[in-house]
């Protein structure tokens, strides 16, 4: 275990626990990545931080604390985003443990580890290229832990439907028929802020002046409609999308993850196969089961995925919306390129402003107008994955129905 090199992603609620656990279990070579700095609201559970540390890097303070408390343990901090590193960095680790609150980051890491798999000439997976990923997540008194053997067991993308979509309210409710205090807050956040532009900048949930302004305006709107139950705490919760968190659940989930790392490193017994849920609202409940690998998973199946549409009359805009909304893809800001007659062509890309402007007109064009055919390949880049995903178009209506 002294030689086993572990990467911990996140030095927050789960990360602090993971670092302590791994160090006490005898792991000595640990790296930790976190791009965040310490906030007052972390101190009810992130026990490696003190009041004087507020504003400092989580990774750096956590590493320093562990190294001073546990002799022989060497935690190396990285005050970075995971996207700042490439596979040359990730290849040095034997196990990756994630304690993240971001689904996008989790998916990105999952994609990275799968893209690092190597296969021999017979198509057999080379075991040395496999880095197991142990992943934990918590929300209030609920949590889950899982073990992913990339290429072998279900990956994050295989089980995307486990992540509940974020609660959203229809725009017409927010604008015309508010009933809940949340509707009033969303109204101020989505409509009134842009209209009045009180601080001449986008909303910063950590700026108390911004929260105060939203609170006051939301209260005015709630009063206007006689809506009850608006509070400052609720405003903060909605604006910052706060997930409740307690020390105890983090302790349980991080401990489960650590035991799994220990099993993987020592082979003392079989690792969790492969998903455990935990809930201690009513007694203490746990349930372990095998999440299934999706045979056509866009990330781990190693097969090009087919994208079925009726015909070429679908607009690029609709296609991109589907990538964002369908529960199989749940992408954030996909960029689409293709290859037509051997030449690469960017159809749309939102992240780079100049390209966005140049490709914006394509959004309203149909696949036919863009020169795409059944069998064309689309290359999709998205923040949820470090690599490009290839989708092969397939038109399900017979060809004679499509006029050339």
Partner 1 sequence: MASPGPKSPEQSEKSKKYDRQLRLWGDHGQSALESCHICLINATGLGTEILKSLVLPGIGGFTIVDGKKITEEDIGANFFLDIDSIGKPRAQVSTQLLLELNPEVKGDYVDEPIEQLLQNNPNFFKNFTVVVAASLPERMLIALSDLLWEADIPFIATRSYGLIGSARLQIKEHTIIETHPDTQNPDLRLDQPFPVLVKHLEDVDLTKMDLKDHTHVPYVVPLYQALQEWKSSHNGDLPKNYKEKEEFRNLLRKGIKMNEDGVQEYEENFEEALKAVNFAIAPTVVPNNVKEILNDYNCINLTSKSKPFWIMAKAVRDFVDNEGEGLLPLRGSLPDMTADSQRYIALQQVYLQEAARCSEIVHRRVRQLLHQLGQPVDAISEADTKLFCKHASSLGVVRGRKISDEYDTKLINTSLLAQGVENSESLIIYYVMFRGIDRFYAEYNHYPGEFGDEHDIVKLKGSIAKLLSEWGCGPLAKDDYIHEIYRYGGAELHSVSAFLGGCVAHEVIKLVTGQYKPVNNTFIYDAITTNTETIDITNLHGIF
Residue 35: CB minimum distance to partner 1, A: 20
Residues contacting residue 57 through CB under 8 Å, at least 6 positions apart: 34, 36, 37, 38, 77, 79
Residue 109: CB minimum distance to partner 1, A: 22
Residue 77: CB minimum distance to Zn ion, A: 30
Within positions 47 to 86, which residues make up the interface with partner 1, using CB under 8 A? 47, 50-51, 69-71
CA 331/CA 14 separation, integer angstroms: 25
Three-state DSSP class for 400?
Answer: helix
User: Which partner in Zn ion, partner 1, none is near 300 (CB below 5 to 8 A by kind)?
Assistant: Zn ion
Tokens found for residue 280: 């201690």
Site string for Zn ion, 143-182 (x = CB under 5 A): ------------x-xx------------------------
Q: What is the DSSP string of 117-135?
A: --B-TTS-B-GGG---EEE
Smallest CA-to-CA distance from 242 within 185, 161, 281, 294 is with: 185
User: Which partner in partner 1, Zn ion, none is near 281 (CB below 5 to 8 A by kind)?
Assistant: partner 1
Three-state DSSP class for 140?
Answer: coil
Taking CB under 8 A as the rule, does residue 247 contact partner 1? yes
Q: What is the DSSP string of 53-66?
A: GTTSBHHHHHHHHH
Within positions 112 to 141, which residues make up the interface with partner 1, using CB under 8 A? 140-141
Q: Which is nearer to partner 1, 82 or 95 (CB)?
A: 95
Rounded to 10 degrees, the C-alpha dihedral 203/50/36/98 comes to -130
Q: Which stretch binds partner 1 (CB under 8 A): 92-100, 237-245, 346-354, 357-365?
A: 237-245
Q: How many residues bind Zn ion (CB under 5 A)?
A: 6
CA 402/CA 13 separation, integer angstroms: 55
Q: Which is nearer to partner 1, 21 or 338 (CB)?
A: 21
Edge-first strand listing for the sheet containing 305-309: 305-309, 385-395, 377-382, 335-340, 343-348
Residue 193: CB minimum distance to partner 1, A: 15
Q: Which residues of 241-253 are buried (b: 16+ CB within 10 A; e: fewer)?
A: eeeebeeebbbbb
Residue 269 among the catalytic residues:
no
Smallest CA-to-CA distance from 169 within 160, 180, 161, 159 is with: 180
Judged by CB under 8 A, which of 17, 34, 60, 157 binds partner 1?
17
CA 33/CA 23 separation, integer angstroms: 16
Q: Which value, in Å, is the radius of gyration of the alpha carbons in the chain?
A: 24
CA 382/CA 276 separation, integer angstroms: 28
Judged by CB under 8 A, which of 281, 295, 354, 403 binds partner 1?
281
Tokens found for residue 35: 């791009």
Residues contacting residue 191 through CB under 8 Å, at least 6 positions apart: 174, 175
Judged by CB under 8 A, which of 79, 193, 215, 367 binds partner 1?
215
Q: What is the DSSP string of 368-381?
A: TTTT--TT-EEEEE
Q: Catalytic one among 155, 158, 172, 269?
A: 172
Taking CB under 8 A as the rule, does residue 246 contact partner 1? yes
Taking CB under 8 A as the rule, does residue 148 contact partner 1? no
Site string for partner 1, 288-327 (x = CB under 8 A): x---------------------------------------
Judged by CB under 5 A, which of 16, 131, 297, 389 binds Zn ion?
297
Q: Which is nearer to partner 1, 172 or 295 (CB)?
A: 172
Taking CB under 8 A as the rule, does residue 191 contact partner 1? no
User: Which partner in partner 1, Zn ion, none is near 192 (CB below 5 to 8 A by kind)?
Assistant: none
Per CB under 8 A, residues contacting partner 1 are: 17, 20-21, 24-25, 40-41, 43-45, 47, 50-51, 69-71, 140-141, 145, 173, 176-180, 208, 211-212, 215-217, 219-220, 225-228, 232-233, 236-237, 242-252, 254-256, 258-259, 262, 269, 272, 276, 279-286, 288
Catalytic residues: 172
Per CB under 5 A, residues contacting Zn ion are: 155, 157-158, 297, 299-300
């Amino acid at each position: 275990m002294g030689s086993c090199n572990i990467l911990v992603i996140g030095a927050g609620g789960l990360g602090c626990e993971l670092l302590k656990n791994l160090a006490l279990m005898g792991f000595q070579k640990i790296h930790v990545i976190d791009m965040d700095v310490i906030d007052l609201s972390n101190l009810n559970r992130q026990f490696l931080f003190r009041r004087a540390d507020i504003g400092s890097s989580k990774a750096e303070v956590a590493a320093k604390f562990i190294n001073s408390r546990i002799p022989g343990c060497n935690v190396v901090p990285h005050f970075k985003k995971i996207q700042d590193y490439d596979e040359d960095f990730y290849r040095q680790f034997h196990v990756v443990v994630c304690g993240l609150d971001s689904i996008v980051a989790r998916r990105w890491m999952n994609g990275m580890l799968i893209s690092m798999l190597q296969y021999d000439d017979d198509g057999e997976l080379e075991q040395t290229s496999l880095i197991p990923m142990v992943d934990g997540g918590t929300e209030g008194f609920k949590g889950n832990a899982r073990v992913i053997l990339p290429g072998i067991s279900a990956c994050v993308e295989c089980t995307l439907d486990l992540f509940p979509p974020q609660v959203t309210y229809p725009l017409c409710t927010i604008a015309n028929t508010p009933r809940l205090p949340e509707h009033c807050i969303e109204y101020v956040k989505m409509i009134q802020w842009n209209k009045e532009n009180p601080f001449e900048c986008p909303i910063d949930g950590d700026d108390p002046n911004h929260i105060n302004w939203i609170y006051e305006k939301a209260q005015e709107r709630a009063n206007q409609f006689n809506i009850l139950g608006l509070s400052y705490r609720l405003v903060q919760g909605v604006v910052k999308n706060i997930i409740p968190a307690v020390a105890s659940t983090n302790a349980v989930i991080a401990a489960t993850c650590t035991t799994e790392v220990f099993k993987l490193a020592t082979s003392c017994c079989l690792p969790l196969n492969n998903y455990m849920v935990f809930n201690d609202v009513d007694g203490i409940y746990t349930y372990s089961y095998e999440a299934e690998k999706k045979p056509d998973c866009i990330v781990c199946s190693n097969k090009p995925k087919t994208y079925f549409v009726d015909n070429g009359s679908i607009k690029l805009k609709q296609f991109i919306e589907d990538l964002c909304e369908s529960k199989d893809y749940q992408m954030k800001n996909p960029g689409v390129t293709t290859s037509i007659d051997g030449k690469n062509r960017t159809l749309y890309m939102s992240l780079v402003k100049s390209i966005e402007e140049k490709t914006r007109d394509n959004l309203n064009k149909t696949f036919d107008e863009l020169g795409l055919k059944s069998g064309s390949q689309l290359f999709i880049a998205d923040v949820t994955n470090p690599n490009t995903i290839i989708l092969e178009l397939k038109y399900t209506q017979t060809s004679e129905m499509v006029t050339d």
